[in-house]
C-alpha cells in the first residue's frame, strides 16, 4: 500500500501521530461502515458532529476558551487526510463546514457573540456554514448583491445564496452582504441564526457529495440584530479573503488524500482481480498506471507539506497555495479516473470508494476558487 511505503516525515511529531491514530479509529468505526448508506440517504446523522467534537476534531485551531484545541497546519492536514480514508467527501464537507463558517466569528465577532455561539458549534451541538456564493456569481465576491440595510438596532437582509454546504441544517450562517456601495468596500459579514423569520431553504441535488446537504438560501426581509455584525461595516471582503488560505490548504490536503485512497484501492483490486489467468497487477499496463498515480500523489503531498511548513514560519505564499490547490485537484482527477479504469465495470458500480471519489472530482476543482481563478490569482501574485 502506498500509505505504508511513505517514509516518516520530519514534519510530524508524536502528538501528530497520536492524533492520526485517534482519527483513523474514529473514521474506521464511525464513518467508513456507513459511507455508502449515508450517500444514498443524502445526509448523515447529526450525532456525528458530537462524536467528532469528543475526539477534538471540531475544535482544531479554534481558541481554547471556546472549546477549541491548539493545532498547527500539520495537525489540520492529519485531520483532513484521515477523514478522506473513508472516501466520503460529502461527509467530510458538511462535518467540516464550520472550518469556513466559524473562523470569521472567532476572528472578528463581538466577544459576547463568540461566547454564545462558538462553544455550541465546537461541541457539535450546532452546525455552522458560510454563505458567500450567489446565483449571479461565485468567485466574484466583490460584486455580490444580497443587501443588508440598517434599521435601528437591526439589519434587514434580502437576497439569495446558493451552493451552500450544510445549507439545509445550519444553525448559524456566516453571510456576506452588501451594506454599502459597489465593490469590495461595500461588503460586510453578518451572523444569521438559522431560525430567523424570512429565511427559507431549498435543497439542491448534486453530481457528488450526496451525503452533504447543499442548499439555496432565500432571505426575505430577515431582521438580524446589529450586534451580529462580524467585524466592521465594509470590512467583510477582507475577512473573507483571510479565510481562503486555510480553506484551500484544507481542500488540497483532502484531494491529495482522496487520490491516495484511489491508489490504495487500485493496488488492492489489482492484486485480487484476475484476467487471462493471472492478477491484473501482473500486467505491465496496470502496473504503469499505478506508478503514474503514486508519483503524482507523492509530488502533491510533498508540495502540501512544504507549504504548511512555510505558513508555520509566518510566510504568506498565496501564489503557491493557489497552485497547490490546482495540483491536488488535478492529481485527484487523474487518480480517480485511472482507478475506475483499473476497476473496470466494478468501478462503475455504486458502493465502492473509487466511484464516489470519481463523482466528487469536479466539486473540488470548482469550490474554494476555480482552477481558472487560481491560475489568474497566482499569476498576479507573480507580478504578471
Domain of 100: which CATH number? 1.10.540.10
Instruction: Provide the pLDDT for residue 1.
Output: 44
pLDDT at 3 over 60: no
Q: What is the mean pLDDT of the chain?
A: 95
Which of 175, 205, 236 finishes a domain? 236
What is the enclosing helix (H) or strand (E) of 38?
helix 35-41
Instruction: Provide the pLDDT for residue 242.
Output: 84
Nearest-angstrom CA–CA distance, 136 and 162: 9
| Residues 230 and 248 grouped into a single domain | no
Instruction: Provide the pLDDT for residue 5.
Output: 44
Q: Mean pLDDT, to the nearest integer, of 353-370?
A: 95
pLDDT at 6 over 90: no
Q: What is the pTM of this model?
A: 0.94
Q: Report how many domains make up the chain.
A: 3
Which of 206, 236, 266 finishes a domain? 236
CATH code where residue 165 lies: 2.40.110.10
Which of 78, 94, 122 finishes a domain? 122
| Residues 97 and 201 grouped into a single domain | no
CATH code where residue 284 lies: 1.20.140.10
| Residues 99 and 25 grouped into a single domain | yes
Q: Could you tell me what percent of the chain has a pLDDT over 70?
A: 97
Q: At what angle do helices 284-312 and 73-83 cross, to 10 degrees?
A: 150
- Please give the residue range of the domain that contains residue 138: 128-236
Model confidence pLDDT, tens digit, residues 270-302: 999 999 999 999 999 999 999 999 999 999 999
Model confidence pLDDT, tens digit, residues 179-227: 999 999 999 999 999 999 999 999 999 999 999 999 999 999 999 999 9
| Residues 86 and 105 grouped into a single domain | yes
Residues 6+ apart with CB under 8 A from 14: none
Torsion of CA 50, 51, 52, 55, to 10 degrees: 120
Q: Mean pLDDT, to the nearest integer, of 158-170?
A: 97
pLDDT at 234 over 60: yes
Instruction: Provide the pLDDT for residue 8.
Output: 62
| Residues 377 and 277 grouped into a single domain | yes
Model confidence pLDDT, tens digit, residues 29-45: 999 999 999 999 999 99
| Residues 230 and 277 grouped into a single domain | no
| Residues 203 and 331 grouped into a single domain | no
What is the enclosing helix (H) or strand (E) of 246?
helix 236-272
| Residues 365 and 244 grouped into a single domain | yes
Which cell is 84 given? 478522506
| Residues 223 and 269 grouped into a single domain | no
Amino acid at each position: 500500500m502506498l500509505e505504508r511505503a511513505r517514509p516518516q516525515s520530519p514534519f510530524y511529531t508524536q502528538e501528530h501521530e497520536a492524533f492520526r491514530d485517534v482519527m483513523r479509529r474514529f473514521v474506521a468505526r464511525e464513518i467508513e461502515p456507513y459511507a455508502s448508506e449515508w450517500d444514498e440517504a443524502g445526509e448523515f446523522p447529526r450525532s456525528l458532529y458530537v462524536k467528532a467534537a469528543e475526539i477534538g476534531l471540531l475544535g482544531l485551531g479554534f481558541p481554547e476558551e471556546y472549546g477549541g484545541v491548539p493545532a498547527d497546519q500539520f495537525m489540520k492536514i492529519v485531520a483532513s487526510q484521515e477523514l478522506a480514508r473513508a472516501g466520503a467527501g460529502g461527509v467530510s464537507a458538511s462535518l467540516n463546514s464550520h472550518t469556513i463558517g466559524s473562523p470569521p466569528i472567532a476572528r472578528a465577532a463581538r466577544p459576547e457573540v463568540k461566547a454564545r455561539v462558538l462553544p455550541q458549534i465546537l461541541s457539535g451541538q450546532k452546525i455552522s456554514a458560510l454563505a458567500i456564493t450567489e446565483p449571479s456569481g461565485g468567485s466574484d465576491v466583490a460584486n455580490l448583491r444580497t443587501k443588508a440595510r440598517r434599521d435601528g438596532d437591526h439589519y434587514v437582509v434580502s437576497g439569495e445564496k446558493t451552493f451552500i454546504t450544510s445549507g439545509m441544517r445550519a444553525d448559524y450562517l456566516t453571510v456576506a452582504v452588501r451594506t454599502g456601495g459597489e465593490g469590495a468596500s461595500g461588503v460586510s459579514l453578518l451572523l444569521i441564526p438559522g431560525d430567523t423569520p424570512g429565511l427559507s431553504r431549498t435543497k439542491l441535488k448534486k453530481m457528488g457529495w450526496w451525503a452533504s446537504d447543499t442548499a439555496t438560501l432565500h432571505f426575505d426581509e430577515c431582521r438580524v440584530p446589529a450586534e451580529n455584525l462580524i467585524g466592521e461595516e465594509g470590512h467583510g471582503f477582507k475577512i473573507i479573503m483571510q479565510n481562503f488560505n486555510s480553506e484551500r490548504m484544507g481542500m488540497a490536503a483532502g484531494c491529495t488524500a482522496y487520490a491516495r485512497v484511489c491508489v490504495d484501492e487500485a493496488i488492492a483490486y489489482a492484486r485480487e482481480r484476475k484476467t487471462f489467468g493471472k492478477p491484473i497487477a501482473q500486467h505491465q499496463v496496470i502496473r504503469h498506471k499505478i506508478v503514474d498515480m503514486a508519483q503524482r500523489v507523492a509530488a502533491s503531498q510533498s508540495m502540501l507539506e512544504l507549504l504548511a511548513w512555510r505558513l508555520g514560519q509566518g510566510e504568506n505564499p498565496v501564489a503557491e497555495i493557489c497552485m497547490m490547490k490546482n495540483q491536488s485537484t488535478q492529481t485527484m482527477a487523474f487518480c480517480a479516473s485511472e482507478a475506475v479504469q483499473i476497476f473496470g465495470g466494478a468501478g462503475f458500480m455504486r458502493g465502492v470508494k473509487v466511484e464516489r471519489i470519481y463523482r466528487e472530482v469536479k466539486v473540488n476543482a470548482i469550490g474554494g476558487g476555480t482552477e481558472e481563478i487560481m491560475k489568474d490569482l497566482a499569476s498576479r501574485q507573480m507580478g504578471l
